[in-house]
Amino acid sequence: MKLITTGKYPVIFAGILLVALIGTLDFITGSEISFSIFYLIPLFYVTWFTGRKWGFVFSVICAITWLGMDSLEARNFSVNAVHYWNALVRFGFFSVIVYLVSELKNHKENLEENIRKRTADLQNEIIEHEKAKNEIIKKNNQLRELTKKIETIKEEENLRIAREIHDELGQSLTALNLEVMWINKKYSGNKDLYDRTLMISQIINETIRSVRKISSSLRPRLLDQLGLLPAIESLAKEFQTKTKIDCLTELPAEKIEISQNTSATMFRICQEALTNAARHSLAKCVSISITREHNNTVLMSVKDDGKGMDEDKINGELKGLGILGMKERAFNLGGKLEVLSNPDLGTEIVLEIPLENKK
């Protein structure tokens, strides 16, 4: 087959042999049996493998062979010219076949070429798509790293500012208050001075309280001094006082050994979940629970009995960044955060963080 299809001349040679064979058979079988259809075999073969030009040449050869066989068989027609007329008609018929076969071949080749091109285009598209996907994944990871870094820097900065406000400003104010009270006592005989210094002292005390509040909102002292559980307990109390929503806690009796970073993250997540409950849920009661699981993870749940949210809100694009931020924080510590919610049944934020994480 390879020999037949690779070179032009072997095909022509094989075609000639075929015509000779068919001519001989045509001659042997005599004029009564029609042999016309078999001439199409070499025509089809030669046209398909060498092209239209050689196909027409073979139309002539086949027509002449047939004419030759007619003459040899001494078929008698009333007028001799009928032989030539028939040969001409056969040539016309063969030419039409050659034309159609070559068109079919062209069509097939065009189709194959188009498929090849389209496949190559598709492969390029797939490669481009894959590249773009990898680029997006890379950028996404970079963005996550950046967010993590910003978060860490923010926590560190908060800690530093909170300490400075508390220690420096707090101490100066306390010292100032002592001085004012000294004047107050020393000149207690002077009513105006006594009243004024007392008032100044009150203002200073209020300022000290504000300073403590600001410093504690930046970074709760309890978190660093006593750890996560007392800080959460205090956060719950403060939340209840501020919002008038009952806040229950269910915390382990024993301290959980976690890194400062993890406890700060858990605290921030709890804070955001409480803020959401106060802002969106219309809840009457919120409960916070922290449990240590056997598989060395810690679970934190913040659950409210408010109006909840529908499926679209949980899975769809969130307008706010609170839930997204909570999820990112959890992810950065190798954990995960889920939002479980049903309309009218409230919302529960469940955080799971591996304990061995010492980041």
Ligand X SMILES: Nc1ncnc2c1ncn2[C@@H]1O[C@H](COP(=O)(O)OP(=O)(O)O)[C@@H](O)[C@H]1O
Positions in the binding site for ligand X (CB under 6 A): 276-277, 279-281, 304, 306-309, 313, 318-323, 347
SS3 sequence of 69-125? HHHHCCCCCCCCHHHHHHHHHHHHHHHHHHHHHHHHHHHHHHHHHHHHHHHHHHHHH
Nearer to ligand X, 163 or 280 (CB): 280
Residue 276 as a binder of Mg ion (CB under 5 A): the answer is yes
Number of shown-chain residues binding Mg ion (CB under 5 A)? 3
Nearest approach, Cβ of residue 273 and Mg ion (Å) = 9
Nearer to Mg ion, 18 or 349 (CB): 349
Binding Mg ion by CB under 5 A: which of 322, 325, 334, 354?
Answer: 322
Nearest approach, Cβ of residue 307 and ligand X (Å) = 6
- CB-CB contact of 66 with 20 (8 Å): no
Nearest approach, Cβ of residue 276 and Mg ion (Å) = 4
Nearest approach, Cβ of residue 240 and ligand X (Å) = 16
Nearer to ligand X, 288 or 309 (CB): 309
Query: Residue 151 touches which of Mg ion, ligand X, none (CB < 5 to 8 A by kind)?
Result: none
Query: Residue 278 touches which of ligand X, Mg ion, none (CB < 5 to 8 A by kind)?
Result: none
The values of phi and psi at residue 89, to 5°, are: -65, -40
Give dist(CA 123, CA 127) in Å, integer: 6
Nearest approach, Cβ of residue 235 and ligand X (Å) = 16
User: Quick one: which H or E segment has residue 310?
Assistant: none
Residue 265 as a binder of Mg ion (CB under 5 A): the answer is no
Report the DSSP pairing between strands 336-342 and 346-354.
antiparallel
Nearest approach, Cβ of residue 347 and ligand X (Å) = 4
Nearest residue to the partner ligand X, using Cβ:
320
Instruction: Please give the full DSSP string across 8-77, using - where no structure is assigned.
Output: HHHHHHHHHHHHHHHHHHHHHH-TTS--GGGGHHHHHHHHHHH-HHHHHHHHHHHHHHHHHHHHHTT---
Give dist(CA 23, CA 15) in Å, integer: 12
Nearer to ligand X, 15 or 308 (CB): 308
Residue 341 as a binder of Mg ion (CB under 5 A): the answer is no
Residues of this chain that bind Mg ion (CB under 5 A):
276, 320, 322
